[in-house]
Chain A
Amino acid sequence: MNEVINWKGYLAMFDGQALMIQSPFMLDDSIAFGADSDYTTMAIAGISLMQSRGINFATVRSLPLVEAQAVKSATGVTVLSGDDSDEEDCEWNLLVGEEATLVFTNDLERNLGFHGPADLEVLDPTFAGDIAEAWSLELKASHVSQGAYVSEAAYLEGASARLNFMAQSHTTGLVWPPRQLDANGKRIPAPSESLTASATVESWTKLSAAGAPSEFALRAPVLGGIQTVFVRFDQGPCGVFLVADDEQYEPEIGDKVTFAVRQIYAQEGLIRYGMKAIPVRG
């Protein structure tokens, strides 16, 4: 029997040669994504788990269900599509399951005998349906915020900081999010060091659905509001983050949190991914 690991809000099983990662939620007897997860967020979590176990690779072969740019920014791994993978020396394959599951393997001939846990958290069907409908509407190309607006270019410019906590090393300490010139008028070097994904809650709020930004207007009523934490990373910089998956979590100042990549919102047909906070239990 393989060991089940709680990792970035998902369940993972790793036998040293292959990794299966799945959502912890169930709907209608099938494994189902939570409110802000998809194959991309789960692929990023899976790669980061393998990297934490010393298994590093530059490329992975996958279906287009995984958004390559986000995976690259978050992990440094290039996702090859079926078309270009023939020409590449690609050791690892990412197999997308029919349900909310993914498998990383370097041996397609191998019999994968993973057994996931049976006692998954059951999603409320109405909640799941409403969230799916909201994402569907949000993903339409016509859904454009007309006020505060983060363009695709601006989003991608900050992607490595947003998805991998890449920070700038400066005489004053680590700088995150990235900044241009310092107080001496000198350009701060490009991000070169990643913050560890460990921080402490210094403040928090929960916005009512009526007060949520327009980008979240479709999902906020379903989620019962938007929960945000203000945290200080162990290395010093501060940041604000939404809380992942667990809408029941009521933060307290002093709580330790870690982070995982999740869907933030969609605009003009493009999902914006980013880190969300996950409380460290126990």
Chain B
Amino acid sequence: MVDVAVIGAGQTKYGNHPSGLKGMWAEAAEQAFASVDRDFEPRCVDEAFIGSVAFGGGQLGNTAALLTEHSGMDGIPVRRVENACASSGFALRDAWMAIKSGQADVVVAGGIEKMNDLSPERRRFWLGVSGDTEWERLAGLTFPGTYALMARRHFHEHDSNHDDLVNISVKNHMHGFENEMAHIRKEVSFEKAQSGFMVADPLTLYDCCPTSDGASAVILAADHVVRQFTDDPVWLRSSGAGSDFLALHDRPSITQVRATQQASQSAYKAAGITAKDVDLAEVHDCFTIAELMATEDLGFAARGEGGIFARNQQGVRNQGEVCINPSGGLKSKGHPLGATGTGQAVEVFKQLRGSVEAPRQIRDAEIGITHNVGGSGATCAVHVFGRDRA
């Protein structure tokens, strides 16, 4: 079967972006096209998949057609992919499958979200649309609330506490400080992160990712055309995905995410690796507790030991066996919902090619993964990238 490589990747800076949807997408696509080593033009693209929750309701229908029209890719098959915050993680999976199936040779996977052009009240409407509206939302829950329930239960069942979450926050702010594309480029002290404003007890402001605008795009190519574009590809070795019940109360456990376990296990198996082989992981830390639990579900820490992992600084850049969120993660780099999954792929692509800002570079990185979660864990996509083809 055909192998798939990443030949280019680009993104906007995350944050409060001055452009609208069209301008943001054009910027990300332009960056991705320009990152391809040899001549590349939009006409090389056979198909495109663009993840978006369509935040705020603007251009809900035919979003992908509008965006490709404004990035020189009009006329090709396109579609918007929606799986909440995992939208572009699944767009990436769809793009990978399009090449694997032999239907396309060059495919763009991307994502976009414009979140900061809404009033605070309308933003709150939209931040809840991906949760369980009928039961959880009528119990007063938005995502800070659902993740707070997970955190408190994890503290109860295992050796973990809020200080472990503070360590994750401090680490991700430190990683993101050097990232020119990050939304919040600010280091925070342990003491400051420990005493943040309470958002959803026990989660404080420093446990929550920001509300970001952003767009990201990666260009995938089939093995038989890769050399037309680059001699330095990053191989997308596997794609894993899973799902779980939408609402927490329907799940057997609220201290682990089955979708992540399914996605990572299938991705590792298909790539022929284990968690021990991973050098860097872009992990979906919409809330710090999400990263703590993901370190367990992805196999970096034993079940119940995610707190100890964070306490021992095991995810810090060039300090442990694996670096967790070298980009700063959602916490610092930002979280433009639909753009997050392919934004993670942009980071891994650059890390494996050794092209991030020098202080952020993971030494001798060979294998990186992305972990993109929808909502409180109803959907998840995990991708394995490698310097080597297999």
Contacts and interface: CB of A to CB of B under 8 A. Distances in A.
A5 interface: no
B199 A253 contact: no
A277 to B, nearest CB: 9
Given A148-B129, A150-B138, A240-B135, A205 B148 contact: yes
Contacts of A238: 248-250
Interface stretch (A87-95, A99-107, A121-129, A207-215): A207-215
B142 interface: yes
Interface in A194-213: 202-208, 210-213
A211 B199 contact: yes
A148 B198 contact: no
A239 B152 CA distance: 16
A148 B375 CA distance: 13
B137 A148 contact: yes
Interface in B197-252: 197-203, 247-250
B249 A230 contact: yes
Given A149-B133, A150-B134, A240-B149, A213 B122 contact: no
A237 interface: yes
A177 B135 contact: yes
A146 B142 CA distance: 15
B138 A203 contact: no
Interface string A211-247: 1111111000000001110100000011111100000
A264 B149 contact: no
Contacts of A154: 134
A205 B203 CA distance: 9
A113 interface: no
B38 interface: no
A7 B39 CA distance: 76
Interface string B132-149: 011111111110110011
Nearest to B199: A211
Given A150-B137, A203-B152, A242-B140, A214 B128 contact: yes
Contact of A240 (B122, B125, B126, B136): B136
B363 interface: no
A189 interface: no
Contacts of A240: 135-136, 139, 141, 149, 247-249
Given A148-B131, A204-B149, A239-B135, A217 B144 contact: no
A264 B138 CA distance: 7
A24 interface: no
B139 to A, nearest CB: 4
Given A230-B249, A240-B248, A147 B126 contact: yes
A215 B131 CA distance: 14
A212 B140 contact: yes
Q: List the 3 closest A-B pairs by CB distance, nearest first.
A: A147-B125, A205-B148, A226-B140
21 contacts: A146-B57, A146-B122, A150-B134, A154-B134, A203-B149, A203-B156, A204-B152, A205-B145, A205-B149, A207-B140, A210-B199, A211-B144, A211-B200, A212-B124, A213-B141, A214-B125, A226-B145, A238-B248, A238-B250, A240-B149, A242-B140
Given A148-B128, A148-B133, A230-B153, 16 more contacts: A149-B133, A177-B135, A202-B153, A203-B150, A205-B203, A206-B198, A206-B201, A207-B141, A213-B140, A214-B128, A215-B138, A239-B135, A239-B139, A240-B135, A241-B139, A264-B138
Interface of A: 145-150, 154, 158, 162, 177, 202-208, 210-217, 226-228, 230, 237-242, 253, 264-265, 272, 274
